[in-house]
Structure 1
């Protein structure tokens, strides 16, 4: 019976793998490389070790290495090139317009991208105080979702919506569905509302959900969405991964500072009136 030297690693963990228990070897290798990519030792465009080098590094067969690389490719983390090996893929960039409320799927589609939504939970929960003021109720659904772009998590969304307006919401109904689209289907037409953006540091939970690092800066979008009559439909927090670009269409007025509050009030009222009339026309057409 051999005695292992003090302080030495167990043999099954010497190269980072546990051969005695745990996931299949290809999944362990995939996860090791995944962590190296996410934690930035492997930067976009940098080559991965060759299949032969990975075989020697982990002491496994080529088929196991190929399974691991295939898993990374399916996640959109690497690009496999025939005869040239694999390189780390650049993270897909999510672009959204700060002035537009909702329509994130349409904005991604305009850039040739497709978003996927996974619902983590839908539960009856009391909202925070700002949400109570915005929605005028404490009877709300708390909805948590992750949005994926090319299988890379780009946004974590925590939303509160009134249960009295949407008693039918379930996890299954919201999976891969547009929340604002479902509101429209049930007679409530989102018109917009105030938003604010700020940089925040990722805690351990957010870092896990967005495959980022703890304390890495994220963009937090907070706001409320109301219908044309001013009723609160949702109050939300959306944490965006660092590879998010917010587009803002800035305008220079010919008379800076001359736009009165009364003028703004009239424009808001006109917008709500138009939205209300459009909603009536859509209901009549249905």
Structure 2
């Protein structure tokens, strides 16, 4: 029986892999490289180690390495180039207009992008107090969704909607569908509402959902959407990954122009002249 030297790692964990328990080796290697990309040791455009180098580093076959790289490619994290190895891909950037309520799919399409939606849960749950005030009900659905851009998660949404208005909502119905589009189909037309944006740190759950690091800064968009009559249709929190750009069309408020006394006299004179001409026109046509 061999004795493990003091302070040495167990053999199955010596290169970061657990060969006795846990996920398949290719999944473990994929996750190790994934963490390195998220934590920034591997920056966009930088080359990954070659397949041969990864084989030696992890002590696995080439087929295992290729499975790991394929998994990273499917997530949109690397670009595989024939004869040139793999490089870290630049994260796709989601752009959205802060003034525009909803329409995230349309906004992405305007930039030649396509979003995919995965519904995590649709359940009957009471909303937060601020949502009760906005929706005027405690009988709500809580809907949790992740939006993907090029297979990269870019937004996690937690939304409450009134069950009395939308009793038919199910997980299957909402999968890869527009929530506001479904509302329109059932006779309720979203018009907009107040929103606010703030920077927050990712907790462990958000970091897992958005494939980012714990305490990574995220942009939280919170608000309510109402119809033209003021009825609350949804109250939502949307956490955006760091690769989101909010476009804002800022306008400079023009200062009112002061009018001189001379200008006032001229305007009054023009008004009197106009009244006189209208009166004359009325007499001539009478």
Q: Deviations over 1:158-188 (max 9, x none)?
A: 1010000001111111111100011011110
Name the SS for the 1:225 alignment partner. Answer: strand
The count of aligned residue pairs is 286
Could you list the per-position Cα deviations for residues 107-144 of structure 1 after superposition, in whole angstroms to 9, with x for gaps in the alignment? Answer: 11111111111111111111111111111111111111
Structure 1 residues 107 and 165, CA gap change in structure 2 (3 angstroms): same
SS of the equivalent of 1:200 reads: strand
**Which residue of 2 is the match for residue 114 of structure 1?**
114
* Counterparts in 2 of 1:201 and 1:279: CA distance versus 1, 3 Å: farther
Higher radius of gyration, 1 or 2: 2
Partner of 2:105, secondary structure, is: helix
Change (3 A) 1:139 1:81: same
How far does residue 265 in structure 1 lie from its aligned partner after superposition? Answer: 32
Q: Deviations over 1:193-249 (max 9, x none)?
A: 111111111111111111112211111111110011111000001010111000111
Secondary structure of 1:109's counterpart equals helix
Relative distance call for 1:219 and 1:87 in structure 2 (3 A) is same
**Unpaired segments of 5 or more residues in structure 1?**
none
1:197–1:221 CA contact under 8 A, matched in 2: yes
Q: 1: distance between equivalents of 2:4 and 2:70?
A: 36
- CA separation of 1:276 and 1:181: change in aligned 2, threshold 3 A: farther
CA contact (8 A) 1:229 1:272 kept: no
184 and 270 in structure 1: CA distance in 2 versus 1, 3 angstrom threshold: farther
**CA offsets, 1:64-93, max 9 Å, x none?**
111111111111000111221111001110
Aligned mates of 1:113, 1:45 — CA distance in 2: 21
How many Å separate the matches in 2 of 1:77 and 1:97? Answer: 26
Classify 1:243/1:272 alpha carbon distance in 2 versus 1 (closer, same or farther; 3 Å): farther
Residues in 2 aligned to 1:190 and 1:72: alpha-carbon distance in whole angstroms: 38
Report deviation, 1:12: 1.3
SS of corresponding position for 1:155 = strand
Q: RMSD between aligned alpha carbons?
A: 10.6
Structure 1 range deviating more: 17-26 or 32-41 = 17-26
Q: Give distance in 2, aligned partners of 1:132 and 1:268.
A: 55
1:51/1:97 Cα in 2 relative to 1: closer, same or farther (>3 Å)?
Answer: same
More off after superposition, 5-14 vs 132-141? 5-14
Query: How do 1:80-229 residues align onto structure 2 when only pairs under 5 Å count?
Result: 80-229=80-229
Deviation at 1:274, TM superposition (A): 35
- Separation in structure 2 between the aligned mates of residue 3 and residue 264 of structure 1, nearest angstrom: 102
| TM-score between both structures, scaled by the size of structure 1 | 0.88
Deviation at 1:268, TM superposition (A): 33
SS at match of 1:83: coil
TM-score w.r.t. length of structure 2:
0.88
CA distance in 2, matches of 1:284, 1:178: 63
Superposition pairs for residues 207-286 of structure 1, below 5 Å?
207-255=207-255
Could you report, residue by residue, the CA deviation over 1:7-44 in whole angstroms, capped at 9, with x for unpaired residues?
22111111111222322211111111111111211111
